[in-house]
Chain A
Amino acid sequence: MKRRFLLGTLALVAGLASGAADAQTTLRVFSGGANQRPDLMRKLFDQYQAANPGVKIDIETGGATSELQRQYLSTVLNAKDAAIDIYMIDIVNPAQYFGAGWLEPLNAYVGEPASAMKPYLPAYAQANVINGKIAAMPAFADAMFMYYRRDLLEKHGVAEPKTWDELSAAAQKIQKAEGDPNLQGLSIQGAPIEGAVCTFLLPYWSQGKDFNDANGRMTLDKGAAVKGLNQWLGMVDAGVIKKNVAEVKTPDTVNEFKAGQVVFAINWGFAWDRFKDDKDSKVAGKVGVMPLPAMAGGKSATCVGGWQWAVSAFSRHKPEAAKLVQFMASANAGKFLAAEGSLLPTIPSVYAEPEVVKAVPWFKDAAAVVLAGRSRPLSERYGEVSDTIRTTTSAVLARTKKPEEGVAEIESRLARVMR
């Protein structure tokens, strides 16, 4: 009796499911956490649904940070779950996920990389193509920016610093003149989070050095890496960076800058809106953005981030999903996201669109920063690369390891991974 009931229910459910599939395709999209603005993505999905009546789009969000999302997605994709058709993934993940066979190559749907990826900024065209296959399409760009208190710099007659040493001197001058013991000169992220990978790379890159070659092989210059870490530690000793920097996460920098306790802050693009729009922001209208300083004799470089749309290899609606991804990666979608949410476009021409320039005037400065941005090492084993760099950087900033020890550890661990 019970069994017959069970079978009956199964048949009914199966019938309903197939019936629904005839009438309509439902695409389920994993759309990241709050910082990836699922609210705006929903609006774009609504536009798409209106234009394509046969498609219904469900949205799923989760994971406030890139690491949390990576852990969740690794679990879902490892189980070959067909429930989610499209994933929004961090720029560091396409290589790893594609290597694992979790992403559907998009060449058959959007064309070959040479033409399909041509409109995008080089960093994104490069990160999403693996061995000639398009693993994902860019959603929006991001980069580490140097935010500063324009009012304080003007008040104390300080020019925008061009080198890290100039920044340190400028910060000390302002801190001294203001006389506030809680005023930090510079806020960077030293906790063992994804942002700490950039904290390691920024002063290293700004000496004109590369961490890896085009084939993903490591080209670490140990001397330069030690010098980069010592740059931060010197600023901690000078009181420019606070001494518990190894505890600082991305939101800490945002909140402390918003509370008016920071002169210079390095953070992702989303922070701009938080400084400008949040009700508890004490710095609205007083914030400037400038290119990151370089080491003396080096050149300015920043860390690009950003998000991509990928079609699951386990999806049952790949053609429909690929079509939606193409729409979400289009110049029009990029324009909407830029104007509505100041999310940085991945297509250079969008920065100059009149609507965008009007809505977010600071993007005219941002374009140059993003264009000069560099990618974190692209590797199938990025999980290990990231973990090694951020854990070691955090330990060095906590002063439990000397910079020389930390760099030697990064080299010995990654020599096996990045070859």
Chain B
Amino acid sequence: MATPSLIERARDPSERTLAILLLAPAFALLALIVVYPIGKLIWNSFFDLRLSGGSGAFKFVGLLNYEDVLKDKDFWNATKNTVLITLITVPGALVVGLGLALLANLPFRRRWPVRLALLLPWALPLSFAGLIFAWFFHTEYGVVNDVVRRLGGLGFEPQTMWLLKPNYAFAAICLTIIWKTSSFMALILLAGLQMIPRSLYEAAEVDGASRWQQFWQITIPMLMPSIVVALIFRTITALQTFDIPYTMTKGGPGNATETLAMLIHKTTIDYLDVGYGSTLAVCMFLLSLCVTAVYLRRIGKE
């Protein structure tokens, strides 16, 4: 006698009630901590909620905040920076992370020092990483300028002000983010690498495939599901980049390295403009949603 399938059991009224009862607490919790805040955020974005008062404060303004966002140069600047950081650091971390994962997957006699080295940057809080790298890039006290000087200048002017020039500051931030996040990439990819059966490589060797061919024909295709998962996670966190630029440059010089999350924080916490801050947050939410949808469609196709 076969056990009833899930669908058959769901049709049974008594089972259905039980299922709903069992799921209800989880849904209630989810509604409380996810649906309610997002709903409230969207609701707030239709109001003028400048906490420090002023005429017209605490009134419904319809889509006015959204009109302002479209005309807001700071918003477009922050969006550009956020997208650029994502486009640079996500592939960057993938390449470095893959390299690290392949390295860690080599048959070391002792694996734990390698694994530990891989874990450490990931375990470090983001703001620590930002503060440490800010010291590295400091004009006078930083190790970067010292190394550059010892190597004969490398074509840079002496005492380059890394964090005070827009392009250098941007590059320094991207480098820090790649350093910080590639270990997370490497961990996921390492798990994927270890799931690839050895027999595939043995068979390929029998057929005379080179190491290079093995990498492209076996490793990469077998690793694809892990790569996609790592990319989704990393892309979403990259769109929310805050800690590292905040601690390294505070968005400076000017607002050359200000990201969307920083602009939202500034508007809400420093300017106490909760309505406009919510509108910016909704826009950032939509951006994340679009990017996630693209990934999910790709996965769906596969």
Contact = CB atoms under 8 A, between A and B. Distances in A.
A244 interface: yes
Given A74-B269, A383-B272, A387-B271, A394 B252 contact: yes
A383 B267 CA distance: 9
B226 to A, nearest CB: 39
B139 interface: yes
Interface string A66-101: 010011001100100000000000000000110111
Interface residues of B, number: 26
Interface in A362-403: 380-381, 383-384, 387, 391-392, 394-395, 398, 400-401
Interface residues of A, number: 30
B269 A75 contact: yes
Contacts of B163: 247
A400 B53 contact: no
Interface in A196-246: 242-244, 246
Contact of B254 (A97, A381, A400): A400
Nearest to B134: A247
Interface in A325-380: 380
A384 B54 CA distance: 14
A99 B53 contact: yes
B270 A192 contact: no
A74 B272 contact: yes
Interface string B266-293: 1001111000000000000000000000
B52 A380 contact: yes
B272 A100 contact: yes
Nearest to B137: A247
Contacts of B247: none
Contact of A400 (B50, B139, B253): B253
Nearest to B274: A78
Contacts of A244: 139-140, 159, 161, 164
Given A78-B272, A247-B164, A395-B254, 7 more contacts: A242-B140, A381-B52, A383-B52, A400-B164, A400-B254, A400-B256, A401-B254
Interface of A: 67, 70-71, 74-75, 78, 96-97, 99-101, 191-192, 242-244, 246-247, 380-381, 383-384, 387, 391-392, 394-395, 398, 400-401
Which 5 A/B pairs are nearest by Cβ-Cβ distance?
A395-B254, A244-B139, A398-B164, A99-B52, A99-B53
